[in-house]
Structure 1
Amino acid sequence: MSLALNPRFATPAADAFVFDPGQAVEGRQEFVPRYGDDGWSLLALTQNPSQADDIIRWRWFPEVFREPFRYAAWTVINFPLPDLDVARPGVGMRSKLSVGRIMKTVNHWSMFAQWLDERGIKQLSLVTAEDLSDYSHHLDRARGLARNTATSHLIALSRLHYYGQLYLPDADRLIAPPWVAEGMDDYLPAASPLGENVTEPIAPATMGPLLVWALRFVEEYADDILAAFGEHRGLVEIAEALKGPFRKGSGLRLVAYLEQLESEGSPVPAVIRDTKISTPGVFLAGRTGTPIAKVHQVMNYPRWKAYKVQNPGRCLLDAPITAKLGGKPWHDPFDFHDVPGILKHLVTACFIVLGYLTGMRTGEILALENGCCPDPQGSPEAARRHLIYARQFKVARDEDGNHASAGVVREVPWVAVPQVVTAVRVLERLGGHGLLFAAEVHDPLQPERRSGRSLAIATMSNRIESFIEWVNIHAQNWGRQAEAIPADPHGRVGTGRFRRTLAWHIARRPGGLVALAVQYGHMRTLISEGYGSRSRGGIHDLLDFETARNVAEHLSEVHEAIQDGEGVSGPAARRLINAAAQEHHRFGGLITSVRQANDLLADPTLNVFENKEAFLFCNYDRAKALCHPGRGTKSETPSLDRCKVNCANIARTDTHAHQLRQVADDLGKQAASSLVPEPLADRLLERAQALNELANQHDHDRVTAATGAEL
């Protein structure tokens, strides 16, 4: 079917396709919806493997508006917006929308239609500019939408107006919204004080154990789980091959198996759910080579039915448990029916490792393919680093500037630390070909239309919550409650917060969680070297934003403390006092935009980083930094895990001196314990003495804001 561009169209017939099946992704033509369907799935239009199979439900709309908006949606799906409308100032539109954006647009329309119906307005042509202004205030005051979300709603109504002028009958045309001529600022909620990215990082108390358990699955438990999965799959394949009419005597092997169990007094494999005991047909079929139908027939014989009820047991696999947890096997022998669930947790753990230790967006991770992380070429002696070649979707555009649903291969690949490479290899062992997170491999019960696609983002988000729940139950059962994963104070972990959390931890905990220090290979260095100067995309913007926020907050706190009489010591004491005052007056401790972050980071006098482990501030000057011995490095930040006490960039505050003495006192108390061996006690006392000397040196050299200005 072809559609000519014409300002007047007749409503399509109920059995007509919503869009030309020829536009559908190869193999998806049968899933193209019909115009009269109660729901429209647009999944056949996109090549993005992680796109959710959302469906436009026409019951969302009040009946009076159902058909006008159905027709409006049909025009948006099939016809581009003319260049004249796209180019209008302040509109911010594309001529064609992605599937995800079409879904959002129609959803926004449904909310608008419900609001009109509640106000007694039953026709789009009757909507006034005052009504539209009221609706914009409704989005802010009644619904409390964030600025970006409200913007999306207003753009959807602008699009409805432009399409109405071209394609809709007079009664269904929306007048030009007032923000088209006046701009949107007066019709939107105030900008968030938190800046451009309001996604909260995952709390360290949650992220720490979550990462630990994910790495345990990937690095330690994977072989056990994959061995169990291989045995599970083998039993299923045997059972599947035996389907069909069975021959005479086909139950003899099962009977012999049951008689042996009876003679030994061993339990018979069964499925136990609460008080109900049933026959594990597939397991027994695979174990004994008996057709499933024959298994159920034999197990219904009075003799074996009674024995099953009296002696039910688990369907244990032969796969060994080799990994340890606290010196003991990490898991009991696997039950046949538990393997699919534990395999899901392994796949989820791989996602967590990829999401947190690369900085990739969720869609990029779910679109990764087997072979995306090849082994580096070259001699073993040379410095070799694994790279991940991924497709990005957010900025993918075709030659007309519209969204390209297949994505584009990222110009600069992601850097993969060893833990990430291990996660990729685990997934490759499962997939064999195609996508690492292929739906048919990791969720075979998905509808057929998801074949060839990845797990959906919502599915993975739910699996992360299930993974956390499983870990907490496992920790409880194994007496390791201290290793449970606490709930995050901001709610569900989800999939999109790992990227922000990585940036947060690199910027704010340089010697802490992500670094673990050398084990994860200095993530900032790896990421920066991976992108080089060719790209400031990827996670760099988030890193810069978090670094700037961290610096601003610390410097503002230092300025306030100095004004209250806090003393500062060290070679860079005056630089710290001046930097704190300058930051406080320029930014007030609050970075709310990427532009402000860039301005702060571009000022070398404000490059100040706190090293809490060494109890100091680093007033970073690359030419003086002893953490970079060659000092020819292009590093924009210090390596805080390599601080030297004689570095010219160091400054300490009274707070740091107090902390030094507290740690020294604690070490002294440990050394005095009769349980501590003498050599260890000597080392503890030596360390305590060194810390006290640093604190005493601070007291001797300290200056305040007034004296620092005179020096």
Structure 2
Amino acid sequence: MTSALATFALPGGTWPADDIVILRNRPLRAGTDKAALSRFGDMIWHIRSAHPDAHLNITPLIWSHYPPLFHLPFKTFFLAALDHPYPGSPITVQRGGERAGVATFRYWFMDLQVFAEWLVEAGISRLCDVTEQHLDAYRAYVLALQRKPGRKIDMLAAVRTLWLYGPHLPDEGRLATGYPWPRASDDELKSPAGGRDNKTPRIAPVTMTALLAWALHIIEVVGPDVRDAWVEHQQLRAGTHPSQAELDGLPTGERIQRYIARCRREGTPLPGHRMEDGQRAINFSAIQRMIQTTTGISLTPNQKRTLQDSGLPIAEDTYIGQITGAIDGRPWRDMPIAVSELRNLIRMVAAAAFVVICYLSGARPGEVLNLRPGCRATDEETGELLIVGRRGKGYDRASLPAAGADAEVSPEQRPWVVVTPVHDAIAMLESFGDYAFLFPASFTNAHTKRPNDFNARQVESVTRDLEDFVAWVNSTFGRPGADVPIPPDPTKHLHASRFRRTLAYFIVRLPRGLVAAALQYAHVHTKVTLSYAGWDDSSWMDDIQLETLELVLEQNEQDARLLESGEHISGPAADEYRHRVRTRARFAGRVVTAGRSVDRLLEQTDPNIHHGEAMTCVWRRETAACRKARLEAGLPAEDGPNEAECWLSCSNLVYTDRNIVVQRRLQQQWERAAADQLSPRPRRDRAAALAERSRTIIEAHQARPIPTTSTTKER
């Protein structure tokens, strides 16, 4: 397609020709039919082909909504916005070649429609006739509307954008005024303060933990059975199932006889369904599918009578596949899967896979929904597991190559560091069939308006899937009198955008809880945390910093309150602990609107006190025994405590009453292990030594601080 502007002459300038392809200068998604692209003269402009996200349904621009008088000038403006980057603004920094995303056009279209209708009411027939007084009158009109302040700001900003594109418009189609409202107050034309706050609520830990656990269960246990049933169903429909091979070339009557004989031999009932009166009836359509009768020809009455007189029992439904997965040693269901259940069960397995992939990668929902088969990869240098997709933000994003393309990282793609369960979930989705996306618009019956080869599942649909998944798990696997398997979240309904914030919470608050998966699968490199949400994603680290700040403030408040109420502190760093807690405890609160504000507050409020299991570290790098041990071993030093390498002799240690409660529990556990005569002696000796260590810590806490001169390197 050419980039040259085809024109025809009109008084006052030139206008685009009707046959110009509107997306001529935009990258298009793989699979776009270029012959069907909208043209300038069309009354409906379809622009979704230029949006890289396959999960979004981009609304077309319907020009019949605009006053006919202004079709041509506003069409020309939108064509210029499709063709050219943002022009420089007199009051803001230029955007360096950034072009408006086509999703933005929907909002510009609605906002400028208000302006066009106002112009008609004001008796103005050409944009070039608009004066400064007209613009002031329009601003007063917009500010008086009963709409939210943000919407009013957008409506006025759209007119400014129309003015900025003036150099690309004919004289008759541009605003001939100066830059609109250059001296307007900040309150009228700038976004309200605090608009950048991350208000996405976290998922409650008890809900998220259960949701992830059951998602992993479903993928491992239920997924293979559902997948095998779906594959078998597809083979039966296509005539490629192994059981149909012996029927090739046979007339329908003989096929029926062989089918009846096989059912008797294998003890299989005839497929059935429930009638309105509660009786069972043979599902003849299913039998036609199984024996592959001539397409479009139903069984004759005599053939149906043969099946009815066969004496074979009739099942309650049409079952397919086998149940092989087990939960708690029992099959996850008593009956095989019915064909009528397949659609919903596939949706539940896909929802479980979405939870695992989206949560354990930290990717945005749209980034996950746009993943294609073959996205699994491995870092050749570190051996870390990766998924390769496309970044979810940025004006210059391009759509991914078509399915089956090489998964090597290109400038348009980004990798996420993940753990084995994520790769397992992807493998499960890939095994359901040959789809263009891991999460196609529908696995079973995609709508013709959103075909699977061009569209992924929408976020709104995934939200419904998550709610249905929780309800299905609770109803299927719940037990009478017991708590539901997945407790409800007390804040609000589950939705996909909450996963990233929740992941940040678990990494900061409960690192040994969330990263247990990473530890189990040997992905313990620092890069795992930094790359959960993709490389170069600053917003992810903002979430981490914000969660860290909230943790520090809550910890400071709790430590100060317990210290004032008489909590006893022992250990070599006890005095430093008291000093840091008392000097950092007070925090009156402050509005945080940017990542830098979080960093500054963290520096001001963080006492660098780290509560571990049965011990507390008042971190000071110069005296940290764990850091010295790593340096002596030739390992890279860490700028923070490493609980796995903590030394009893470290002068940074203190013990609170909370730590001692845990120490007593550990002491009892080690004493029981030391007394177990069935255990090998080396294990009993080690348990006895650990029990003695806990006893020493407890006695020292009750009597006096642990001496700082100890040179014994106990671990």
1:334 Cα offset (Å): 1.4
2:287 maps to 284
Q: Which residue of 2 aligns with 1:709?
A: none
Asked if structure 2 preserves the Cα contact closer than 8 Å seen for 1:544 and 1:597, the reply is yes
Aligned residue for 1:390, secondary structure, equals: strand
Q: 1:391 maps to which residue?
A: 390
Shift of 1:202: 1.7
Cα-to-partner distance string for 1:25-53 (whole Å, 9 max, x where unaligned)? 55423543466877543222234333334
Shift in alpha-carbon separation, 1:255–1:536, aligned structure 2, 3 A = closer
Residue in structure 1 matched with residue 614 of structure 2 by the alignment = 614
Residue in structure 2 matched with residue 44 of structure 1 by the alignment: 49
How far is 1:644 from its partner?
5.5
* Amino acid corresponding to residue 43 of structure 1 in structure 2: R
Which secondary structure state, in structure 2, belongs to the residue aligned with residue 430 of structure 1?
Answer: coil
Matched residues in 1 for 2:251 and 2:568: separation?
A: 92
Aligned CA distance change for structure 1 residues 3 and 471 (closer, same or farther; 3 Å): farther
CA offsets, 1:97-136, max 9 Å, x none? Answer: 212222233345567889x79x987879586536536746
Rg (Cα) greater in structure: 2
Report deviation, 1:348.
2.4
| 1:626 alignment partner in structure 2 | 626
Aligned letter for 2:461? T
2:357 corresponds, among 354, 357, 381, to 354
**Which residue identity is paired with 2:289?**
G
- Residue aligning to 2:212: 211
Residue matched to 1:527: 528
Match of 2:475 in 1: 473
Q: TM-score, normalised by structure 1?
A: 0.74
Equivalent residues in 2 for 1:510-549 (5 A)? 510-515=511-516, 518-519=519-520, 521=522, 525-528=526-529, 535=536, 537=538, 539-549=540-550
Between the aligned partners of 1:581 and 1:122, the Cα distance in structure 2 is 70
In the alignment, what sits opposite 2:431? 429
Q: Once the 2 structures are TM-superposed, how far is the Cα of residue 324 of structure 1 from its aligned partner?
A: 0.9
Count the aligned residue pairs.
Answer: 668
Q: 1:564 to 1:161 in 2, by over 3 A?
A: farther
Aligned pairs (5 A) from 1:12-91:
19-20=23-24, 25=29, 27-33=32-38, 40-56=45-61, 65=67, 68=70, 72=74, 75-79=77-81, 85-90=87-92
CA–CA separation in structure 1 for the residues paired with 2:700 and 2:217: 44
Q: Aligned-pair distance for 1:505?
A: 0.8
Question: How far 1:342 moved relative to its partner?
Answer: 1.8
C-alpha contact 1:667 1:685 (8 A) present in aligned 2: no
Partners of 2:611 and 2:376 in 1: CA distance: 36
Shift of 1:697: 4.6
Provide closer, same or farther for how the CA distance between residues 688 and 88 of structure 1 changes in structure 2, counting only shifts above 3 A: farther
Which residue type is aligned with residue 624 of structure 1? A
State the shift of 1:688 in Å.
Answer: 10
CA distance in structure 2 between the aligned counterparts of 1:343 and 1:20, rounded to whole angstroms: 39
> Which of 416, 419, 422 is the aligned partner of 1:417?
419
**8 A contact 1:46–1:406 mirrored in 2:** no
Which amino acid in 2 is paired with 1:454?
A: A
Distance verdict in 2 for CA 1:70–1:99, change over 3 Å = farther
Residue type at the aligned position of 1:290: T
Percent of pairs identical after alignment? Answer: 22
- 3-state secondary structure, aligned to 2:505: helix
CA shift digits 1:454-495 (9 cap, x unpaired): 33333333322332232222123x659535323333433222
2:221 corresponds to: 220
Contact 1:18 1:35 in 2 (8 A): yes
Q: Which residue does the alignment assign to 1:321? A: 323
Provide the rounded CA distance (Å) in 2 between the counterparts of 1:533 and 1:95: 22
AA matched with 2:332: W
Structure 2: tracts of 5 or more residues without a match: 402-409, 707-715
| Runs (5+) with no aligned partner, structure 1 | 398-402, 704-711
Alpha-carbon distance change, 564 to 604 in structure 1, aligned in 2, over 3 angstroms = closer
**Aligned letter for 1:129?**
D
Alpha-carbon distance between aligned partners in 2 of 1:82 and 1:231, rounded to the nearest angstrom: 51
Q: Distance in 2 between matches of 1:21 and 1:87?
A: 23
CA contact (8 A) 1:615 1:652 kept: yes
| 2:390 and 2:399 in contact (8 A); partners too | no
Change in CA separation of 1:376 and 1:264 when aligned onto 2, cut-off 3 Å: closer
- The equivalent of 2:252 in structure 1 is 250
Which amino acid counterpart does residue 360 of structure 2 have in structure 1? L
Map of 1:205-604 to 2, 5 A cutoff? Answer: 205-238=206-239, 249-254=251-256, 257=259, 268-272=270-274, 280=283, 283-291=286-294, 293-295=296-298, 297-298=300-301, 311=314, 313-317=316-320, 319-331=321-333, 332-375=335-378, 384-395=383-394, 397=396, 404=398, 409=411, 413-432=415-434, 434-439=436-441, 444-447=446-449, 451-476=453-478, 482-515=483-516, 518-519=519-520, 521=522, 525-528=526-529, 535=536, 537=538, 539-559=540-560, 562=563, 568-580=569-581, 583=584, 588=589, 592-599=593-600
Amino acid paired to 1:42 = I
Query: Secondary structure at 1:626's aligned position in 2?
Result: helix
Shift of 1:237: 0.8
Task: Check conservation: 1:392, 1:410, Cα contact below 8 A.
Answer: yes
C-alpha spacing 1:99/1:558, structure 2 compared with 1 (3 Å): same
Query: Would the alpha carbon gap of residues 536 and 232 (structure 1) be closer, same or farther in structure 2, given more than 3 Å must change?
Result: closer
1:569 and 1:264, CA in 2 relative to 1: closer, same or farther beyond 3 A?
closer
Which amino acid counterpart does residue 92 of structure 2 have in structure 1?
G
SS of 1:199's equivalent?
coil
Q: What is the match of residue 139 of structure 2?
A: 132
| Cα deviation 1:422-457 (Å, max 9, x = unaligned) | 122223333557543344757644536552443333
* Distance change (3 Å), C-alpha of 1:392 and 1:84: closer
CA 1:56–1:299: 2 relative to 1, 3 Å: farther
> Deviation of residue 356 (structure 1)?
0.9
Question: 2:57 corresponds to which letter in structure 1?
Answer: A
Pairwise CA distance, 1:685: 13
Q: Is the Cα contact below 8 Å between 1:461 and 1:494 reproduced in 2?
A: yes
CA contact (8 A) 2:655 2:701 kept: yes
Indicate the RMSD between aligned Cα atoms, in angstroms.
5.4
Give how far 1:595 is off. 0.5
